[in-house]
Amino acid sequence: DSGVTQTPKHLITATGQRVTLRCSPRSGDLSVYWYQQSLDQGLQFLIQYYNGEERAKGNILERFSAQQFPDLHSELNLSSLELGDSALYFCASSAATSYEQYFGPGTRLTVT
Amino acid sequence: ILNVEQSPQSLHVQEGDSTNFTCSFPSSNFYALHWYRWETAKSPEALFVMTLNGDEKKKGRISATLNTKEGYSYLYIKGSQPEDSATYLCASDNYGQNFVFGPGTRLSVLP
């Protein structure tokens, strides 16, 4: 158990809908990262937050947004969902940038 | 966009064999190189974070080296065990490009 929690574990929704994925980092970790793993692709970095501020942005679509709250938990919002958004979404946390990242169990999103 | 490559794509070794894989990354604007171990149906597990040219890190039977000037890192496993079977991922963190993962090396250790 990495100490990073993600909810929900599974999510099934229809195209065009909006969902929110939640991540609680390890106690004391200030940095949160979001990753996407699609069926035919490797791990793709989406976005990083550090102590509430956006630190780095990767291949995140404009339909996706994220934020980190004062209690350091983070939410990833996915809107106008498409079939291609079906994937495993991981959250990871670290004490700071370039420290070891601890991954949560992931949320599997299925868009039908 | 960075291109991070790993070789070989997959590897089958016998229990007790030692093995190594390569991660190649662009050396420009390098910040850090991460290695992860990813077992099927689990989450990636951090092995090492390396930042300095010439860095060598070790965790049990697993070690890694880093060459930032030529843009490569080696991961070594000494005396492979069946429980080492997993996909080994590297990820490069370069200024302005953030994290880019390689495709991974899938290791199978046969008893």
Per residue, what are the HEC states of chain B? CCCCEEECCEEEEECCCCEEEEEECCCCCEEEEEEEEECCCCCCEEEEEECCCCCEEEECCEEEEEECCCCEEEEEECCCCHHHCEEEEEEEEECCCEEEECCCEEEEEEC
Mutate to test the interface with A, among B25, B42, B43, B57 (most CBs of A within 10 A): B43
Q: How far apart are CA A38 and CA A78, in angstroms?
A: 15
Check whether B1 has a pLDDT greater than 60: no
Residues of chain B in contact with residue A42, where contact means CB-CB under 8 angstroms, are: 89, 101-104
How many residues are listed for chain A in this entry? 112
- Chain A residue closest in CA terms to B47: A100
Question: How far apart, in whole angstroms, are the C-alpha atoms of residue A99 and residue A30?
Answer: 11
On the CB side of B84, CA atoms within 13 Å amount to: 28
Pairs across A and B, CB distance < 8 A = 48
Strand partners, B100: B92
First to last CA, chain B: 40
- What confidence score (pLDDT) does residue A70 get? 95
Average pLDDT over residues A42-51: 92
A59 or B39, greater pLDDT: B39
At A26 the pLDDT is: 95
Mean of the pLDDT values across residues A22-48? 92
Whether A98 shows a pLDDT value over 80: the answer reads no
Is pLDDT above 60 for A22?
Answer: yes
What pLDDT, on the 0 to 100 scale, is given for residue B98?
73
Closest CA in chain A for residue B40? A105
Under the banding of pLDDT at 50, 70 and 90, the label for residue A75 is very high
Length of chain B: 111
| Tens digit of each residue's pLDDT (9 = 90 or more) over B51-93 | 988 899 999 999 999 999 999 999 999 999 999 999 999 999 8
Q: Look at residue B96 in the predicted model and tell me its pLDDT.
A: 62
